[in-house]
Amino acid sequence: MILATLGPTSQRVEQIIYNGDTITGVLLTMTFNIDDVTVEITECGDCERPDPDNNARNLQTAISGAYKRCCMRVSKGLQCWCDDDEMYILDKVLNEREGQDIV
């Protein structure tokens, strides 16, 4: 949904946070182009229950959390969780402005 509404974005992991040898979080920066303005957002993501035997899963979980937080900062956070048939009030308002029928 983010790609469909904001177009391509870039992301980079700025820092991986460890507790001993176990990944527990990340700092992620995403770059958005909103109304021809480049916006960079950096957010943190963590693992609620880091698995000391699976740093790959810990990293994926932390990046996913940071991704959702970055999207929230540009008012797209709910779209990370909504189903295809669900529509939030912002979607309804934007569709009305664009003259689209509201499903």
pLDDT in tens, 52-72: 999 999 999 999 999 989 988
Query: How many domains does one find in the chain?
Result: 1
pLDDT > 90: percent of the chain: 50
- Whole-prediction pTM: 0.71
Task: Examine residue 65 and state whether it is found in any structural domain, yes or no.
Answer: yes
Task: Examine residue 6 and state whether it is found in any structural domain, yes or no.
Answer: yes
- Give the residue from 1, 11, 10, 26 showing the smallest Cα distance to 76: 1
Q: Are 36 and 52 in contact (CB under 8 A)?
A: no
> What is residue 50's predicted lDDT score, i.e. its pLDDT?
96
> What is residue 89's predicted lDDT score, i.e. its pLDDT?
56
The pLDDT mean for the chain works out to: 82
Q: Kindly report each contact of residues 35-41 with a partner whose C-beta sits within 8 Å and lies 24 or more positions away, as own/partner.
A: 39/74, 41/70, 41/73, 41/74
What value does the mean pLDDT take over residues 40-48?
94
Task: Examine residue 102 and state whether it is found in any structural domain, yes or no.
Answer: no
Kindly report the number of other CB atoms within 10 A of residue 36's CB atom: 5
Q: Provide the residue range defining the domain that includes 91.
A: 2-97
Q: Cα–chain-centroid distance for residue 62?
A: 11
Task: Examine residue 103 and state whether it is found in any structural domain, yes or no.
Answer: no
